[in-house]
Structure 1
Amino acid sequence: MEAPRCPVVELRQYTLHPGQRDVLIDLFDREFVESQEAVGATVLGQFRDLDDPDRFVWLRGFEDMPRRAGALESFYGGPVWRAHRDEANATMIDSDDVLLLRPASTGGGFPVPRGTRPAPGEPAPTPPSLVLATIWYGHGPFGTEFVEFFEQRVRPVLTGTGAEPLAYLRSEHAPNTFPALPVRTSEEVFVWFARFADEAHLEQHLNRVRLSEHWREELLPTLSSRLARPPQRLRLAPTERSALR
């Protein structure tokens, strides 16, 4: 099988000052996409959190941890960030909520984007969809046995109830190769992403899962025994230049 795309992924959740999300998105989409990809990062997607008007969520990928270090050193030490960092930082209350992840299996990485990303100010080539990110927090590592449980038993239920799975990842515990940007190293997480046409389709999926006897009686007890706390669910609307749409 082919190696997964972006074997190292950051899931970044920013808490912003009230009313500043669109300010940051305009700046990010204009200045921080191509400039990061030029030095070796992949901007996988950037989103508005539908349930929190002051949260901006984005995904950034790398080929490996050493190249992550080189890309981040080049970007944050480079002219684009230097020119715009004060404007970006002025929108933020907190930018340290970061999970470092890796694909849970060779089939768990993010797909190659459909089409091309529009230039700043241009309309998107495809209509926006909705992305659901579900974060499961474990008592311990999500090992091979759990990944097989997800692939063989959970994913078919998600697909059968209307989800379009995109990727599923687990914690990457390699040392942080760019300590200037902290990551949540103490967490054991399994994160899956799915795409939906709109909010109505997402809600239909969640309702179907809740009503599924197979889910309630067979899968949920096994899953719940592995979780340290309730899952976190992020309903994410792609920005105009998000590669994941």
Structure 2
Amino acid sequence: MDECCAVVDLRQYTLHPGQRDILVDVFDEYFVEGQEAAGMHIVGQFRDLDDPDRFVWLRGFADLRSRADALAAFYSGPVWRAHSGTANRTMIDSDNALLLRPIELRDGYPRLDSPRAPIGATFVPDSVIAGAVCHRGAPGDGFVEFFTDHVLPALTASGAEPVAVFESLVAENNFPALPLRDEVVLAWFARFPDEAAYDDHRRRLAASQVWQRKVLPELVCRSAKPVQELRLRPTARSQFR
């Protein structure tokens, strides 16, 4: 388990066309260290490979109280005041956010001291961070056990063993200035060295009789709405890469 973060925000922003690189530049140059100085862990920030106007990121907190304190410190602080105008002008919607707690974090998931490229870095890795957000019925519905016993083995057999698995943290939003989606989910993320490896995983999954005949139909049946699949490219300064 991450020594930092028992609470994680998964945030997905819809941006104005052509504005994503502007937000990435501001985020990587100012918002990583600015937020971490306030008491957060910026786990990873990504371009969505399937949507040129989507920016996705993860940040962690030691606990709920720390979340409220850190967010208040950052959003009332000098870094946000100086650069919020530039960031906000890129955004159509920044309210697509989920409050999560880790179920399992494996090797490959960034820790506080994981390497991060320096400010000004421009090299973007070839790696793909793939994931999914599964919309559950309610807490205690057996979805975690279904994922562990059936979904995870099928993913592993196709070359996509997740490095991070989260479920919704059902709690009051203690920083209401940033809305959260009122949904119960399970989310997972896996790392692939490049798009070819990810494509091979998808082909193997499509050819898997276990996945197609048993796991996928039950996953669809158990899900409150369609699973959101994510195919993400880390930015130059993302720790999760």
Is the structural similarity TM-score above 0.5?
A: yes
Q: CA deviation at 1:151?
A: 2.1
Partner secondary structure for residue 51 of structure 2: coil
Q: CA deviation at 1:202?
A: 1.0
> Quick one: distance in 2 between partners of 1:100 and 1:239?
22
Distance 1:138 1:214, change over 3 A: same
Q: Which runs of 5+ in 2 are unaligned?
A: none
Q: CA deviation at 1:39?
A: 1.3
- Taking the TM superposition and a 5 Å limit, the aligned residue runs for 1:4-43 are 6-43=5-42
Identity of aligned residues (%): 54
Moved more, 58-67 or 108-117: 108-117
CA contact (8 A) 2:42 2:59 kept: yes
- 2:192 match: 196
| Counterpart code for 1:242 | S
Moved more, 148-157 or 23-32: 148-157
CA RMSD of aligned residues (A): 2.2
> Quick one: distance in 2 between partners of 1:210 and 1:108?
27
Distance 1:63 1:178, change over 3 A: same
CA deviations 1:82-117 (Å, max 9, x no partner) are 111111111111111101111135769944378511
Distance 1:117 1:171, change over 3 A: same
Q: Which runs of 5+ in 1 are unaligned?
A: none
| Counterpart code for 1:136 | C
> Quick one: distance in 2 between partners of 1:106 and 1:56?
23
Please, which of 138, 141, 162 is the counterpart of residue 140 of structure 1? 138
CA contact (8 A) 2:162 2:190 kept: yes
| Residue 239 of structure 2 is aligned to residue 243 of structure 1 | yes
- 1:180 match: 177
Please, which of 150, 163, 168 is the counterpart of residue 166 of structure 1? 163
Partner secondary structure for residue 68 of structure 2: helix
> Quick one: distance in 2 between partners of 1:106 and 1:57?
19
Distance 1:84 1:244, change over 3 A: same
CA deviations 1:149-191 (Å, max 9, x no partner) are 3223321221221114111111111111100000002x11111
> Quick one: distance in 1 between partners of 2:4 and 2:149?
21
| Counterpart code for 1:166 | V
Partner secondary structure for residue 162 of structure 2: strand
- Taking the TM superposition and a 5 Å limit, the aligned residue runs for 1:1-245 are 6-105=5-104, 110-112=109-111, 115-122=114-121, 127-141=125-139, 143=141, 145-185=142-182, 187-245=183-241
Moved more, 192-201 or 4-13: 4-13
> Quick one: distance in 1 between partners of 2:108 and 2:68?
20
